[in-house]
Amino acid sequence: MLVKIIDMSYDGNGVAKHSGKTIFIPHTDVGEEVEIEIVKSRSKFDVGSVTKVVKASSYRTIPPCPYYNECGGCAFQHVSYQRELMLKKMILQNELKKVGYIGDIDIEPSKSNYHYRNKIKLTHKQGELGYISAISHDFVGIKSCLLAESDILDAVNVAREYLKKYKYAHLKSVYFRKFNDGVMIIFLFAKREAFLYDKILDRFPIFLAEGEVLESDKAKINKKYNVVKMSYKILDEEFKIDAKSFLQVNVDVAEKLYDFVVKNVDGKTVINAYSGQGVLSKLLAKKAEKVIGVECQKSSHGIAETIKMDNMTNYNAKVEEVISKLSKEADFIVLDPAREGCKEKVLEEIIKSNIKNIIYISCNFSTLTRDLKHLTKFYKIQKVKFFDMFPLTANMETCVVLEKY
Ligand SMILES: C[S@@+](CC[C@H](N)C(=O)[O-])C[C@H]1O[C@@H](n2cnc3c(N)ncnc32)[C@H](O)[C@@H]1O
């Protein structure tokens, strides 16, 4: 079937129409004409796979990754970086139209669009490391990844060598995190299992953990090897970080994001909600009279406490539990929730309060637009800036500045 790509979906797929039905087609560009076969059919839409590009976009490139068609982690390797940014802007415009915003959208590109990630998580399967495909949901063994910083790839090779020698029944995944003083390898087990240390691992700090997801409070660090300290430097501030704490994955873009937020905050008492390990709180504390950080994860809160300035207070709580009290004393709030967005109670309490301005940082459109639908009844969107924190992938970091009507 021959179709024309007329739009981009929020998850980076080309959109075509055929006999009135919408078809999502990965790895295409708007304006292209492609021959496709339908690989999935639902009542409201189909998913197609390209069999031949009949009219190619002038931005088309050869995808450099051998796993591009299988893995599904990347969405834009088939076009130039310049085009990727144009398509992402188009996607964001489509999303923000849903809340009535048709104004400007500024773009902040990433310094490098390859090897920018300071953290990757690989699934373990019978001695192999790989990703769970976003396309087939099958395990795809990988030897390399274009998203990971190159020091991480060195550690991945060592871990692969190690796992050829030692077989583990309960090893679920292996995390690799790059810090200023090296790459940390975290072996995450579903159940505790005897770990055999080998000198091949000597160059790396090693953590053994147990749990579902490393960043959860339920994950337990059971043992450490070779760990001296892990430091993370951002905007000339140095932090000591543990294995579980959240960090932005692209330091270059994170610095630009924090800088933008600080420049746009103009309040006396600022709530930094979902504050992580307090990097942003500390930067805000240099400008505002008082900064109140709220973070539910214990280890991140613990780090925020170690970098506290006199005008900073940190709450180890869920934002929804403390917002009604805190919103009474603040005039500005920064919201940087995880993918799930804000609980309705958080938005309701902000709306009821005297908070004049909001900066909402989001890595997920669907929850961003859901939350903006509430907020824009009372707050006007003043500025939108898109930070390309996750080049090559369809994930996008968006920062929205709002002011009360
Ligand atoms: C996207 S991260 C942002 C962290 C921080 N602003 C930064 O730039 O590093 C979201 C953070 O919110 C925390 N979190 C998730 N749900 C929460 C909740 N209901 N209340 C408070 N913190 C929460 C997570 O542990 C994580 O640290």
Domain topology for 2-58: OB fold (Dihydrolipoamide Acetyltransferase, E2P) (2.40.50)
C-alpha 299 to ligand 1 mean position (Å): 12
pLDDT for the residue 211: 94
| 245-273 mean pLDDT | 95
Q: How does pLDDT run across 26-42, given as a tens digit for each residue?
A: 999 999 999 999 999 99
Answer for the pair 258, 235: CB distance below 8 angstroms, yes or no: yes
Please indicate whether residue 397, judged by its CB atom, sits closer than 6 Å to ligand 1: no
Which residue has the CA at smallest separation from atom 18 of ligand 1?
318
Question: Which residue among 274, 279, 321, 361 has the greatest number of ligand 1 atoms within 8 angstroms of its CB, and so is best to mutate?
Answer: 274
CA-246 nearest atom, ligand 1: 27
- For 137, residues 6+ apart whose C-beta sits below 8 A from its C-beta are none
Residue 228, classified by CB atoms within 10 Å of its CB into exposed (0-12), middle (13-18) or buried (19+), is exposed
Separation CA 245–CA 214 (nearest Å): 9
For 399, the token pair is 């920062």
- For 332, residues 6+ apart whose C-beta sits below 8 A from its C-beta are 265, 266, 267, 268, 269, 270, 271, 288, 355, 356, 357, 358, 359
Please provide the average confidence, as pLDDT, over all residues in the chain. 96
C-alpha 174 to ligand 1 mean position (Å): 22
- For 108, residues 6+ apart whose C-beta sits below 8 A from its C-beta are 253, 256, 257, 260, 385, 386, 387, 388
Instruction: List, as one string, the DSSP characters of 250-298.
Output: -HHHHHHHHHHHHHH---SEEEEES-TTSHHHHHHHTTSSEEEEE---H
Which residue has the CA at smallest separation from atom 19 of ligand 1?
318
Residue 378: which pLDDT band, with cuts at 50, 70 and 90?
very high
Residue 267: which pLDDT band, with cuts at 50, 70 and 90?
confident
| 187-214 mean pLDDT | 95
Q: Is the pLDDT of residue 239 over 90?
A: no
Please indicate whether residue 232, judged by its CB atom, sits closer than 6 Å to ligand 1: no
pLDDT for the residue 234: 87
Residue 291, classified by CB atoms within 10 Å of its CB into exposed (0-12), middle (13-18) or buried (19+), is buried
Please indicate whether residue 29, judged by its CB atom, sits closer than 6 Å to ligand 1: no
Quote the distance between the C-alpha of residue 182 and its chain's center: 22
Q: Is the pLDDT of residue 357 over 90?
A: yes
Q: Is the pLDDT of residue 237 over 90?
A: no
Which residue has the CA at smallest separation from atom 2 of ligand 1?
338
pLDDT for the residue 217: 82
C-alpha 77 to ligand 1 mean position (Å): 30
Q: Is the pLDDT of residue 299 over 90?
A: no
Question: Which residue among 217, 246, 283 has the greatest number of ligand 1 atoms within 8 angstroms of its CB, and so is best to mutate?
Answer: 246
Residue 215: which pLDDT band, with cuts at 50, 70 and 90?
confident
CA-258 nearest atom, ligand 1: 8
C-alpha 266 to ligand 1 mean position (Å): 22
Domains 106-111+250-404 and 119-233 share a fold: no
pLDDT for the residue 216: 84
Q: Is the pLDDT of residue 240 over 90?
A: no
Q: Is the pLDDT of residue 19 over 90?
A: yes
- Tell me which of 3.40.50.150, 3.60.21.10, 3.90.1170.50, 3.40.50.720 is the CATH number of domain 106-111+250-404: 3.40.50.150
Q: How does pLDDT run across 158-170, given as a tens digit for each residue?
A: 999 999 999 999 9
Please indicate whether residue 300, judged by its CB atom, sits closer than 6 Å to ligand 1: yes
| 274-290 mean pLDDT | 95
Rounded to whole angstroms, what are the CA distances from 144 to 41, 122, 164, 202?
Answer: 33, 11, 16, 21
| 243-272 mean pLDDT | 95
Separation CA 32–CA 39 (nearest Å): 19
pLDDT for the residue 365: 87
Sequence spans of domains, the chain: 2-58, 106-111+250-404, 119-233
pLDDT for the residue 72: 93
pLDDT for the residue 165: 95
Please indicate whether residue 275, judged by its CB atom, sits closer than 6 Å to ligand 1: yes
Share of the chain above pLDDT 90, in %: 92
- Tell me which of 3.40.50.2300, 3.40.220.10, 2.40.50.1070, 1.20.120.1750 is the CATH number of domain 119-233: 2.40.50.1070
Please indicate whether residue 318, judged by its CB atom, sits closer than 6 Å to ligand 1: yes
Taking the model in full, what pTM does it have?
0.94
The beta strand positions in 320-391, using DSSP E, are: 332-335, 357-362, 379-387
Please indicate whether residue 279, judged by its CB atom, sits closer than 6 Å to ligand 1: yes
Residue 370: which pLDDT band, with cuts at 50, 70 and 90?
very high
- For 202, residues 6+ apart whose C-beta sits below 8 A from its C-beta are 226
Residue 246: which pLDDT band, with cuts at 50, 70 and 90?
confident
